[in-house]
Amino acid sequence: MTSTVISILAVIGIGVTAYCVWRAIISARTPQGAVAWTVFLVSSPWFAVPAFLVLGRRKLRDYRAEWRRSREIVRGFGPDGASRLPQTGKRAALTALERIGGLPFAPGNQVQLLVNGDATFDAICAAIDDARTTVCVQFYTIRDDTIGRRLSEHLVRAAKRGVKVRTMYDGVGSQKLSNRWVRALEEAGVVVLNPDQARGPTSRIEINFRNHRKTVIIDGVIAFIGGHNVGDEYLGRDPKVGPWRDTHLEVRGPVALQAQMVFAEDWHWASGEALGDELDWKPPGHAVPGTGQIAALVPTGPGDEMDSGTLMFITAISAASERIWIASPYFVPDSDILSALIAAALAGKDVRILLPEAIDHYLPWLAAHAYFDQVRAAGVRIMRYKRGFMHQKVILIDDDLAAVGTANLDNRSFRLNFESMVFVADTGFAGEVEEMLRADFEQSQEHEIRLQDCGYRIRYGAPVARLWAPVL
């Protein structure tokens, strides 16, 4: 290699490094983050530049304009949807949640908890069998196993009787999905979005930003949203994983239409196809003002102008006057969420974090131990679920606000993944969530061990794993 070529490559390398440093400076959330990336990029550019290109970006800037276009197109199909906030002390929080998600709280919803996989997939398959016009399916993970083939059979039958069925899945979460599963649907007339041919977070190319939503919408009237993906382990059938604790929602009413709008946004962004004439956008006939439960879907993601995932959690935590219970499979909070939880506990509020004792992803499980001493010192109770793996994503605020959906208590859900949470402002539903979580607490043990008293693996590994918190 001549000296001229070497010089050219050196200049290119310096230019790329300088560009990455500039992007880190203008995009990092904190000065500390900007300094950390700058030092890494300058000291080890051959390692740092590829890492920054994959992990360093906080927003999908390249796609934001197209995302806005998708949202404008889809919102043009749906009803305007006037906000109907209840006269409670949480009006300010509900207003903030509306502005974060861009969708209004509306009455007339019928929200039902679906506890664990059998209840969830029995309800989903029954609704697909009753579908008259459309079925929209979106999961982060779909497997070609027993439950995956069961779902496929119901979708195929729906398509063969004339129902328009569309299915999309995440290219990374479903990377092991067989071509056989896809072909069976396509041969029946189901439209399946191929992640290899998609753009944005559905594509396998966009590694760091994922579409983590798990939604099924029937006729624009019924929606299923929650923690379950499509795989046998989500029904506790994998002997390596054991029992699986998860929660989904069945929602009938205006929130189902909101879920359909979000699906259409994701579909248009990934494929460029608008679904205006393909879906029913009329409000459900039974959604009578003043009846049913007041609820709203709060979608969040890196395409938003603000850190909507973080703001959603902070808004919920700040709304509490007495109680904050959060169930999540992972606990890797950023400094904002950490401070909000600590401040709430110091104010005397009942703050509990329900986490699994079992491990499915080792690094975030290990990193969580680095936060326990700090939050426990403020009065936060850490409950470790011991009856199998717990994967649900649930928030309970006082006695009148609860949420179920897909967002974990970690940085991926705060900033990197596209998520959806259904917030329900209803004392009856909040009571059902409380009863469910109390049953989970009975299957849990409070974590009271200090980090310094843990084994060597956790004591020394947790602080190191915490360094990876921004991408866990």
Instruction: Let me know if 282 is a catalytic residue.
Output: no
The neighbouring-strand residues paired with 403 are: 395, 423
CB atoms within 10 A of CB 122: 11
C-alpha distance from residue 36 to each of 156, 244, 305, 363 (Å): 51, 38, 24, 21
Residues 208, 53: Cα–Cα separation, whole Å: 10
| Choice among 212, 268, 349, 369 that is catalytic | 212
Please identify which of the residues 170, 268, 393, 440 carries the catalytic annotation: 393
Tell which residue, 176, 180, 127, 179, has the closest CA to residue 154: 127
Catalytic residue among 266, 268, 391, 410: 391
**DSSP state, residue 452:** G
DSSP per position, 33-50? HHHHHHHHHHH-HHHHHH
DSSP state of 142: B
CB 237 within 8 A of CB 152: no
Catalytic residue among 214, 228, 268, 349: 214
Note if 154 is an active site residue.
no
CA distances from 155 to 124, 248, 285, 369 (A): 11, 20, 25, 42
Question: Are the beta carbons of 163 and 134 closer than 8 angstroms?
Answer: yes
To the query of whether residue 266 is one of the catalytic residues in this protein, the response is no
Provide DSSP, 72-94: HHHHHHS--------SSTTHHHH
Listed residue (187, 182, 191, 188) closest to 159, CA to CA? 188
418 near 210, Cβ under 8 Å?
Answer: yes
Selecting among 334, 398, 410, 440, the annotated active-site residue is 398
d(CA 291, CA 125): 28
Q: Bridge-partner residues for 167, per DSSP?
A: 137, 192
Closest CA to 374 of 405, 331, 414: 331
Active site annotation includes 212:
yes
Q: What's at 400, amino acid-wise?
A: D
Round to whole Å and give the CA distance between 335 and 159: 48
Alpha carbons 330 and 412: distance in angstroms, whole number: 10
Token representation of residue 408: 């974990």
Considering the candidates 219, 266, 410, 426, report the single residue annotated as catalytic: 219
- Which 8-state DSSP code applies to residue 285? T
Residue type, 386: K
Active site residue 164: no
Q: Which residues are catalytic?
A: 212, 214, 219, 391, 393, 398
